[in-house]
């Protein structure tokens, strides 16, 4: 064997001997670190997001009280009108003639009343001296009473004619914004017609009607234990923007819709700029009360088991992880309102969930401390 081969063989033996040596063990690893949030009781505003529709505060469909030809339209479409303002003028001539005729008939009846009254008085005196028969006196008294009744009838007829004459001017029954006119000058309208001539809607303030399930209503009452609701309502418009003014819950319907199992809530909103219009779809955030001792758990610390039930991991006093089955009632922002399974003072694991199992020993740090984290490599190098 040459010298070169002997040197190579010796080097290979040394390398094999080195590979066979055991690597020294590193330092033992400590328990994994998890970030926790300590739960505490706090007042929680209970709000629910419900769909709703805008409805006018007042609405009046204008219809004619008398028939005739429309002589003039007295308003600008889409404008604001006052209560009692003239809207249409129906041709008054026939009603004026009826009024004048009834007035003349009343005058005739009043003249006849005077004659019958004087005759009844004379016959009453004459019957006392037997100058006329009792029958003639009774007939005179009856004619006088009939003349009085005729006068009253004519007075009532004159009042009816006056009312009908007044109805030829169609006035606004309420104040508000008036819509499009369904009739024009020269159109024929009739008493009691189905189609409205126009519609007036009061839009400031304005109603928003929302629906709430009876199950949600009963659950909320149980949670509040009879506390009075604050009834504060805010709106989100169709484009996702927030309506700037808050409203108040005015009334809750006393009847449950049998098809949907829901009740209607009606809120009142100021609408000075006219931004809310009847028929608009909105989302109403109704603040129905305050749970003075609410327990909120961050949503990232709540999971689900195979049955879909909410669960949470907490760190006990011995720094060991425990699995809890919990009960949640609703989402409040990015947290869950917990009604069972957790207690004030529990340390809920919110970070590091994937690296721990129930029963494992962990090192728990508060979320604020965990967010700071260890110093960066570069910073550590500079501090050396």
DSSP secondary structure letters along 198-221: EEEEEEEEEEEEEEEEHHHHHHHH
Report the CATH number at residue 116. 1.10.287.470
What CATH number should be reported for the domain holding residue 209?
2.40.30.170
73 and 183 both lie in a single domain: yes
Residue 259 pLDDT: 80
Q: How many CB atoms are closer than 10 A to CB 45?
A: 13
State the CATH number of the domain containing residue 78: 2.40.50.100
What is the model's pLDDT at position 7?
42
Say how many domains are in the chain: 4
Domain co-membership, 264 together with 301: no
Residue with tokens 């219009």: 277
**Each residue's pLDDT tens digit in the chain (384 positions)?**
444 434 444 444 444 444 444 555 555 567 888 899 999 999 988 777 888 999 999 999 999 999 999 999 999 999 999 999 999 999 999 999 999 999 999 999 999 999 999 998 998 889 888 888 899 888 999 999 999 999 999 999 999 999 999 999 999 999 999 999 999 999 999 998 999 999 999 999 999 998 888 777 776 565 454 444 456 888 999 888 999 999 987 776 667 877 877 888 888 999 999 899 999 999 988 776 788 888 999 999 999 988 889 999 999 989 999 999 999 988 888 899 998 999 999 999 999 888 888 888 988 898 875 444 444 333 333 333
In a domain, 87, yes or no: yes
Considering the domain architecture, whether residues 333 and 351 belong to the same structural domain is answered as yes
pLDDT given at position 235: 93
The answer to whether position 10 is within a domain reads: no
Q: Are residues 190 and 74 in the same domain?
A: yes
Q: What integer pLDDT is reported at residue 149 of this predicted model?
A: 95
pLDDT, position 135: 92
Do 223 and 181 sit in the same domain of this protein? no
User: pTM for the complete prediction?
Assistant: 0.63
Specify whether the CB–CB gap between 183 and 232 falls below 8 A.
no
Secondary structure letter of residue 361 according to DSSP: B
Task: Answer yes or no: is 70 within a domain.
Answer: yes
Which neighbouring-strand residues pair with 49? Answer: 285
39 and 50 fall within a common domain: no
Examine residue 15 and state whether it is found in any structural domain, yes or no: no
Half-sphere exposure of 86 (CA within 13 A, CB side): 12
Of the three residues 226, 256, 291, the one that is the final residue of a domain is 291
| Domain finish residue from 274, 291, 308 | 291
Within a domain: 5? no
Q: What is the dihedral of CA 148, 152, 158, 159, to 10 degrees?
A: 160
Within a domain: 240: yes
Q: Looking at the structure, tell me whether residues 146 and 191 fall in a common domain.
A: no
213-252 in b/e form (b: 16+ CB < 10 A) is eeeebeebeebbeeeebbbbbbbeeeeeeebeeebebeee
What was the pLDDT predicted at 272? 92
pLDDT at 220: 57
Whether residues 153 and 186 share a domain: the answer is no
Burial of 129 (0-12, 13-18, 19+ CB in 10 A): exposed
Predicted local distance difference test score (pLDDT) of residue 22:
52
List the CATH number of the domain containing 325: 2.40.420.20
Residue 3 included in any domain: no
Angle formed by the axes of helices 134-167 and 93-128, to 10°?
A: 160
Structural domain of 365: 33-44+294-372
Considering the domain architecture, whether residues 346 and 236 belong to the same structural domain is answered as no
Q: Based on the fold, state whether residues 86 and 183 are members of the same structural domain.
A: yes
Please give the pLDDT value at position 383: 37
241 and 214, same structural domain? yes
Q: Are residues 322 and 351 in the same domain?
A: yes
Among residues 291, 317, 352, which one ends one of the domains? 291
Inside any domain, residue 132: yes
């Amino acid at each position: 064997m040459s010298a070169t081969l002997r040197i190579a063989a010796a080097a290979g033996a040394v390398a094999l001997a080195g590979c066979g040596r055991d690597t020294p063990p590193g330092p033992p690893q400590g328990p994994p670190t998890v970030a926790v949030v300590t739960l505490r009781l706090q007042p929680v505003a209970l709000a629910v997001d419900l769909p709703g529709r805008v409805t006018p505060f007042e609405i009046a469909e204008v219809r004619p009280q008398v028939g005739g030809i429309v002589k003039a339209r007295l308003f600008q479409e889409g404008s604001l009108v006052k209560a009692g303002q003239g809207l249409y003028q129906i041709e008054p001539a026939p009603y004026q003639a009826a009024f004048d005729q009834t007035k003349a008939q009343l005058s005739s009846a009043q003249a006849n009343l005077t004659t019958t009254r004087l005759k009844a008085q004379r016959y009453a005196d004459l019957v006392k001296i037997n100058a006329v028969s009792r029958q003639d006196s009774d007939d005179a008294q009856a004619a006088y009473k009939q003349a009085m009744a005729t006068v009253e009838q004519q007075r009532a007829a004159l009042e009816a004619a006056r009312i009908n004459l007044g109805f030829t001017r169609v006035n606004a029954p309420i104040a508000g914004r008036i819509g499009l006119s369904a009739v024009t000058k020269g159109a024929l309208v009739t008493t009691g017609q189905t189609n409205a001539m126009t519609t007036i809607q009061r839009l400031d303030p304005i109603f928003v009607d929302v629906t709430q399930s009876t199950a949600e209503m009963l659950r909320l009452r149980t949670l509040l234990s009879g506390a009075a609701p604050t009834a504060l309502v805010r709106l989100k418009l169709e484009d996702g923007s927030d309506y700037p003014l808050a409203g108040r819950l005015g009334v809750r319907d006393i009847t449950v819709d049998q098809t949907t199992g829901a009740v209607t809530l009606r809120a009142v909103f100021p609408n000075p700029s006219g931004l809310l219009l009847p028929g608009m779809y909105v989302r109403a955030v109704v603040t129905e009360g305050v749970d003075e001792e609410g327990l909120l758990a961050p949503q990232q610390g709540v999971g689900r088991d195979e049955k879909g039930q909410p669960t949470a991991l907490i760190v006990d006093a011995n720094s060991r992880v425990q699995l809890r089955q919990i009960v949640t009632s609703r989402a409040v922002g990015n947290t869950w309102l917990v009604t069972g399974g957790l207690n004030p003072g529990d340390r809920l694991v919110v970070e590091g969930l994937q690296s721990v199992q129930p029963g494992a020993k962990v090192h728990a740090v508060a979320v604020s401390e965990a967010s700071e984290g260890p110093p960066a490599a570069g910073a550590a190098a500079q501090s050396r």
